[in-house]
């Protein structure tokens, strides 16, 4: 089989023009806005098709609540250079995510920045978890 440069370029262009849809709809999240939250990691579950981060966050009145943050699959996270030990229970992290439209305590990641002070575990480095 022979591939011409034009053929390969056409295939590449086609791939760029076909919108890739996710595993599931994101219609219940407001993907037009980013929300920044900082809190303490309660649990991280690396699992297919979507990993999850449970994050304890204090609201404007200082009341704590646990949020469920949806991430991509483990492979998608690790391929970006994240290691399991980078975000652990008890760590402080900052996230950027898309809130559930109905005000529920759920958010679509987004980006995670460890704020635990350990540079060896990626302190201060924002990485995409979506």
Partner 1 sequence: MRVMIPAALILALSQPAIAQDWARFVSPEDGFSSNYPGQPKIETITYTSQFQQPLPAKVYRAADALGRYSTTVVDYRNIEKLHADRAAKCQAAKGANQLDGDTCQNDFRMDVAGATDYAVWNLIKQDGIKLTSYMFYFVELVSGRLLQITNADKSRTFAAVHQHAGRLYIHQATVPSGMPEPILFMQSLAWADEKGLAIRYRTMYTEGYGEWKFPSPLPPHTVRDLTTSIDGTVIRPPAR
| Interface residues toward partner 1, by CB under 8 A | 21, 23-25, 27-28, 40, 42-43, 45, 47-50, 52, 54, 56, 65-68, 70, 88-91, 100-106, 116
Q: State which residue, 4 or 48, has the beta carbon closest to partner 1.
A: 48
Roughly how many angstroms between the first and final C-alpha of the chain, as a whole number?
37
CB of 111 to partner 1, least distance (A): 17
CB of 90 to partner 1, least distance (A): 4
């008890």: which residue's tokens? Answer: 90
CB of 9 to partner 1, least distance (A): 22
For residue 19, is it left (φ>0), alpha (ψ between -120 and 50) or beta?
Answer: beta
The answer to whether the peptide bond before residue 33 is cis (omega within 30 degrees of 0) is no
């609540």: which residue's tokens? Answer: 65
Q: State which residue, 5 or 120, has the beta carbon closest to partner 1.
A: 120
Q: State which residue, 40 or 113, has the beta carbon closest to partner 1.
A: 40
Count the Cβ atoms, other than its own, within 10 Å of residue 120: 8
CB of 34 to partner 1, least distance (A): 18
Could you tell me if 71 and 50 are in contact, meaning their C-beta atoms sit under 8 angstroms apart? yes
């Amino acid at each position: 089989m022979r591939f011409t440069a034009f053929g390969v370029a056409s295939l590449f262009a086609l791939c760029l023009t076909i919108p890739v849809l996710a595993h599931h709809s994101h219609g219940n999240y407001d993907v037009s806005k980013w929300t920044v939250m900082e809190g303490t990691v309660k649990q991280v579950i690396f699992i297919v098709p979507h990993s999850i981060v449970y994050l304890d966050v204090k609201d404007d009145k200082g009341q704590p609540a646990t949020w469920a943050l949806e991430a991509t699959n483990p492979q998608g996270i690790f391929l970006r250079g994240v290691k399991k030990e980078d975000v652990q229970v008890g760590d402080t992290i900052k996230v950027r995510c898309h809130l559930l439209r109905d005000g529920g305590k759920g958010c679509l990641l987004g980006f995670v920045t460890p704020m635990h002070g350990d540079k060896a575990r990626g302190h201060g480095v924002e990485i995409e978890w979506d």
